[in-house]
Amino acid sequence: MKRMVSIQDISCFGKCSLTVALPITSAMGIETCAVPTAVLSTHTGGFTGYTYRDLTGDIPNIASHWKSINLEFDAVCTGYLGSFEQIKIVSDFFDDFKTDNNLLIVDPVMGDKGKFYAGFTHKFASEMRMLCKKADVILPNLTEAALLLDEEYVGENYDEDFIKNMLVKLSRLGSEIVVLTGVSFDKYSQGVMSYNRKTDEFSSYFSDNIPGYFHSTGDVFSSTLSGALVKGFDMGKSIKIAVDFTVDCIRHTLGSEKEHWYGVKFEECIPDLIEMIK
């Protein structure tokens, strides 16, 4: 059985981060171990008055206990990190658990639609570059890519050459593979473009562009992609599974966006995911 670690917050209500990663990767048949970076009563995307308990100090203790019982992982995946200080601690966690065969996957969660999520700063973005350097795979959206490269967010004003150039620059941060999400060259389709620095190859996969904003779809995508890679699917197939499942979850939520504005109804789509990985 494959085993991975997911390092991100637990938002008790709101369906993102760990409450998305655990059920999705478990459904894929992977033993997933959680390192919660913070406990929030809800996520920060549209709620006010949420509680926030920082767990930075717990992470090194969890790591040293796990080392003492010789735990090993097929992948270590990171998402929302709650504080600037956590990036360094997660970087030490990578050093503790990197092996010759496992994957370090970083989703540099910082913002979307050209804006930082609540509480994030340019200082955080520059520290995040350091974590991306250690990763095997990074999964930024276009906003996070611009922040990592310290460039202007261009909105929808880009073409394929611009994205390819961005992918190459992102790979120079240090990771072998870059998967850029939320790429759309026309109003009908949206998907991802990726670049492998070792083989110098680009690839892309697009699905239907569904108008609207759906919270936490980045977390659904990154959990599914990480799970598929851990299961042993190649990058192309893993991207296809992750995009198709994310779009499936969005379609399933259409029509109930009013009550379900805070996250997609991924739970009802889990049987489809199990079919996709058969």
Name the site residues for ligand PXL (rule: CB under 6 A).
Answer: 9, 11, 16-17, 40, 43-45, 80, 109, 117, 216, 218-219
**CB 218 to ligand PXL: min, Å:** 6
**CB 132 to ligand PXL: min, Å:** 17
Q: Is 16 or 75 the residue whose CB approaches ligand PXL more closely?
A: 16
- Which amino acid is it at 107? D
Rounded to 5 degrees, what angle do the CA atoms 77, 235, 45 make? 45
Nearest residue to 73 (alpha-carbon basis) of 1, 179, 177:
1
Q: Is 144 or 248 the residue whose CB approaches ligand PXL more closely?
A: 144
76 contacts 25 by C-beta, under 8 angstroms: no
**CB 278 to ligand PXL: min, Å:** 28
Q: How far apart are the first and last CA of the chain?
A: 16
Q: Is 102 or 216 the residue whose CB approaches ligand PXL more closely?
A: 216
CA distance 207 to 198: 27
> Residue length, the chain?
278
Number of Cβ within 10 Å of residue 17's Cβ equals 28
Q: Is 205 or 214 the residue whose CB approaches ligand PXL more closely?
A: 214
Q: Is 175 or 217 the residue whose CB approaches ligand PXL more closely?
A: 217
Helix 235-253 with 217-231: angle, nearest 10 deg: 150
CA distances from 71 to 26, 121, 155, 157, 206 (A): 18, 34, 43, 46, 37
**CB 144 to ligand PXL: min, Å:** 11
CA distance 207 to 43: 27
Q: Is 6 or 102 the residue whose CB approaches ligand PXL more closely?
A: 6
**CB 109 to ligand PXL: min, Å:** 5
**CB 129 to ligand PXL: min, Å:** 19
Q: Which two tokens stand for residue 264?
A: 């997609």
- DSSP bridge pairs for 197: none
Q: Is 36 or 191 the residue whose CB approaches ligand PXL more closely?
A: 36
**CB 67 to ligand PXL: min, Å:** 27
